Amino acid sequence: MSAFKIKAKDTNCNARTGQLTTAHGVIETPVFMPVGTRGTVKGLLPDTIKETGAQIILANTYHMVIRPGVDVVEKLGGLHKFMAWDRPILTDSGGYQVFSLESINRIGADGVEFASHIDGKRVYLDPKIATEVQNRLGADIIMCFDECTPFPCEPKKLKDAVERTIRWAGICKDSHKRDGQLLFGIVQGGIDLDLRAYCAEKLIEIDFPGYAIGGLSVGEGHENMVKTVSFTAPLLPEDKPRYLMGVGMPEDIIAAVYAGVDMFDCVLPTRNGRNGTAFVESGYLKMRNSSHIDDDSPVDRSCDCYCCRNFTRAAIRHFFNVGEMLGPILLSIHNIRYFQRLTATIRAKITENTFADWAKQMLAQKKQVSE
């Protein structure tokens, strides 16, 4: 039986709602996954994360391997127990981080050697090891070890990365030994549509229970991203979940759902929250701004999060002004809830078959705001 089931389709675009069944529960899609880089969504207790409506969170294999190490996490009973999170978890493969540390790694045909960003210790990752490590961490969804290219990227390097990603995907599938974990393939190819099509075709031949679109949101811009996603998503099997990695802004998510994408993750809600920026209907609010000094309204009147139900803009501005942790904590809650409300709205619109029109309207508005 397939882990993914489509519930509703919007007849005017490729958007769909679905249910993805994992070992730790069913995920309603489209879904936004908050990021818990080093075993914690920064500043938030698991119960607080749950209260935002988050159905699944992401953890970074690279960071967990560096500290505290996979041995420790495994000995303690796996990532769920370590993080005290009993809902689904997705781990990336470490590929993205490894290839971001470009200056300190050596890419071979079979794997990558890199220096720990903490103590410089040499670490080696290849598709087999990355898969075994993810088997041991024990997330519900795990990812193939891929080569994530920067933007822009010279054609030869892009082509090589795609070939390597395809070859490695086969090794990942063969190395995957743990039941109850869904291993997703990752389509690479930058903004080269031919390469995207080629990569998708080859990965589909290998056959995965889900497919990701990787290598985007690396500087190519909204239009290039939407163009690439709109081309690539429909090439992926309709009955499998599609995951756009590391994305992103509300407008990116809406456009990608329109193209048929089901899953998203991004550090934006927590990173912006820590920096004092709140997502609101009309765009952003910079909460450090002195205009909020005695403002008794909540961050967003239309929001039902713990922060907006309890705190004024003035108090939040004060917490940032004096450097109190509660500022970042409250805005992280608000921003994660913002993305949960966004995806809940998206699911409702698709169910009503009104998503396509709503999406066009929202994207026009967002464009106006950003201009």
116-175 positions binding its own copies, by CB under 8 A: none
How far is the C-alpha of 244 from the C-alpha of 73, rounded, in Å?
A: 27
Q: Minimum distance between the CB of residue 71 and its own copies, rounded to whole angstroms? A: 8
Q: CB of 132: closest distance to its own copies in angstroms?
A: 19
Show the tokens assigned to 35.
């990021």
Residues 6+ apart with CB under 8 A from 241: 3, 4, 18, 20, 29, 184, 209, 210, 211, 262, 263
Strands 211-213 and 242-244: parallel
Options 28, 132, 160, 324; binder of its own copies; rule CB under 8 A = 324
Separation of alpha carbons 126 and 167, rounded Å: 11
Structure tokens at 340: 């949960």
34 in contact with its own copies (CB under 8 A): no
Among 119, 179, 296, 371, binds its own copies (CB under 8 A): 296
Considering only 45, 104, 348, 369, the residue that binds its own copies (CB under 8 A) is: 45
For its own copies, the closer CB: 79 or 263: 79
Considering the rule CB under 8 A, would residue 298 count as an interface residue with its own copies? no
- Give me the residue label for tokens 């699911």: 347
Residue placing its CB nearer to its own copies in the complex, 228 or 340: 340
**CA gap 215, 156 in Å, rounded:** 16
Q: Kindly state whether residue 304 participates in binding its own copies, applying the rule CB under 8 A.
A: no
Judged by CB under 8 A, the residue of 18, 30, 34, 43 near its own copies is 43
Q: Which tokens sit at 57?
A: 């969170």
63: helix, coil or strand? helix
Which residue in 252, 262, 265, 300 is the catalytic one? Answer: 265
Shortest Cβ distance from residue 214 to its own copies (Å)? 25
Say whether residue 311 binds its own copies (CB under 8 A).
yes
Nearer to its own copies, 26 or 72 (CB): 72
Catalytic, out of 92, 140, 192, 252: 92
Q: Which of 289, 310, 354, 361 binds its own copies (CB under 8 A)?
A: 310
**Using rule CB under 8 A, residue 318 touches its own copies:** yes
Which of the 8 DSSP states describes residue 36? Answer: -
8 A C-beta contact, residue 264 and residue 248 = yes
83 binds its own copies (CB under 8 A): yes
Structure tokens at 209: 């229970």
Q: Are 196 and 208 in contact (CB under 8 A)?
A: no
> Binding-site residue total for its own copies (CB under 8 A)?
41
Q: How far is CA 99 from CA 27, 96, 245, 341, in A?
A: 30, 5, 15, 33
Q: What is d(CA 62, CA 51) in angstroms, rounded to the nearest whole number?
A: 28
Catalytic annotation present for 265? yes
DSSP state, 292?
Answer: G
If one asks whether residue 243 binds its own copies (CB under 8 A), the answer comes out as: no
List active site positions: 92, 265
Contact residues toward its own copies (CB under 8 A) are 38-40, 42-48, 67-68, 71-72, 75-77, 81-84, 293-294, 296, 306, 310-312, 314-315, 317-319, 321-322, 324-326, 328-330
